[in-house]
Amino acid sequence: MPQEYRPRRSCLAVPGSSQRFLDKARGLAADEVFLDLEDAVAPAAKETARRNVIAALNTGGWGGKLVAVRVNDAVSRWAYRDVVEVVAAAGRGLDAIVLPKVTDPGHVVWLDLLLGQIEQDTGDERGRIGIEAQIEDARGLAKVDEIAAASPRLRALVFGPADFMASIGMASQRVGAQPVGYLGSDAFHYPLLRILVAARGHELAAIDGPYLAIGDLDGLREAAVSAAALGYDGKWVVHPGQIDVVNEAFSPSQNDYERAELVLDAYRYYSSAERRGAVMLGDEMIDEASRKLALVAAAKGRAAGLRRSQRFEPPAPGGSAEDAPRGEGLGQPAGQG
Ligand code: GLV
Ligand code: MG
């Protein structure tokens, strides 16, 4: 989990070639917008899109959203000018670069170095602009651990199902949906878990890719809830109508959030004031591992704007843990000294 948790529940793709979509995206409830110079932009429109994106970044007005630009991949002919022109002219309006089709850690190192050169030249803060690396083919997945370790600028690993499906020869064209005929329960389980483990091993966010059937909100919900249950922080959205479903899927429930905050407070109190490493909260034992789980749910809940309605109250002096917080039944677990 990153130190400073920034919500990325919904990451909205906005084609840089469409002024109308760029204008509209400002008012939408996505946690992140990324202005796309890659696959949503035809080769003939790349230069216009770059100019539009620079203007959109300089105009600002994105509220508290994370703002990113997806450049073309590191071995394409557009990539260096995407980075140099956009960051030199509008880097201050930018939180991250999304780098697609990362197949080798060298791609990330290249981008890190180039960003550093531009920052020295413009006098902007060194290292502020982050990198979100898309893992979208067999080669990238095979090297995902090295990729995740390639730069301190990395903020997130992003699964790219469309390119990945093509890369491994999956017999389906329904991007993000389960392929018909597959007998397992989730054809994306392996890449999703592989990417998640690499991301967490380097304290990065893990983001699922798009679900392209924009009219199928039930299918989108199913895919998003499943990725959230696995541990993902968010998912791309390719249409404004997908944002609410995805934000909801990646927000903890009010109950889970309240419980997480109570666990953190209770554990902090009992592990310091009473020097106990394991206590009961309701009918469940909590310990250091529970605290770590609670940290994640609390961070996600706060980031999603949830508010707590319950407070932890330490027991009165001389009272026992059983009298403790608001009848939650904190106490000594059976068999613990
Ligand atoms: C996204 O870039 C994808 O390929 O799914
Ligand atoms: Mg792709």
> How confident is the model over 120-134, as pLDDT tens digits?
999 999 999 999 999
Quick one: average pLDDT of 184-206? 97
Q: Check pLDDT > 60 for residue 319.
A: no
Q: Is 166 in the pocket of ligand 1 (CB under 6 A)?
A: no
Q: Is 160 in the pocket of ligand 1 (CB under 6 A)?
A: yes
pLDDT at 313: 82
Q: Is 163 in the pocket of ligand 1 (CB under 6 A)?
A: yes
| 306 Cα: distance to centroid of ligand 2 (angstroms) | 33
Greater model confidence, 265 or 315: 265
Burial of residue 148, with CB atoms counted within 10 A of its CB: 0-12 exposed, 13-18 middle, 19 or more buried:
buried
| 48 Cα: distance to centroid of ligand 2 (angstroms) | 21
Q: Check pLDDT > 80 for residue 234.
A: yes
Ligand nearest to the CA of 236: 1
Which residue is it, tokens 């895919």?
Answer: 223
| 58 Cα: distance to centroid of ligand 2 (angstroms) | 26
| Tokens coding 8 | 């990325």
Instruction: Find the range with the poorest average confidence among 100-109, 149-158, 170-179.
Output: 170-179
Q: 25: alpha, beta or left, given left = phi > 0 and alpha = psi -120 to 50?
A: alpha
Q: Is 301 in the pocket of ligand 1 (CB under 6 A)?
A: no
Task: Compute CA 150 distance to the chain's CA centroid, rounded to the nearest angstrom.
Answer: 18
Ligand nearest to the CA of 166: 1
Instruction: Using a CB cutoff of 5 Å, list residues around ligand 2, an ion.
Output: 136, 160, 163
Q: Is 140 in the pocket of ligand 1 (CB under 6 A)?
A: no
For residue 206, give Cα distances in angstroms to 69, 200, 228: 18, 8, 10
Ligand nearest to the CA of 165: 1
pLDDT in tens, 244-273: 999 999 999 999 999 999 999 999 988 887
> Which ligand 1 atom sits nearest the alpha carbon of residue 161?
5
> Which ligand 1 atom sits nearest the alpha carbon of residue 38?
2
The whole model's pTM is what? Answer: 0.89
For residue 59, give Cα distances in angstroms to 88, 93, 118, 231: 15, 9, 21, 35
Ligand nearest to the CA of 11: 1
| 210 Cα: distance to centroid of ligand 1 (angstroms) | 7
pLDDT at 316: 73
Greater model confidence, 33 or 316: 33
Residue whose CB lies within 8 A of the most ligand 1 atoms, among 12, 70, 134, 137, for a mutation test: 134
> Which ligand 1 atom sits nearest the alpha carbon of residue 236?
1
Which residues, in sequence order, are bridge partners of residue 18?
A: none
Within a 10 A sphere around the Cβ of 169, how many other Cβ atoms?
7
Q: Is 161 in the pocket of ligand 1 (CB under 6 A)?
A: yes
| 302 Cα: distance to centroid of ligand 1 (angstroms) | 29
Q: Check pLDDT > 90 for residue 317.
A: no
Burial of residue 63, with CB atoms counted within 10 A of its CB: 0-12 exposed, 13-18 middle, 19 or more buried:
exposed
Residue whose CB lies within 8 A of the most ligand 1 atoms, among 73, 163, 195, 208, for a mutation test: 163
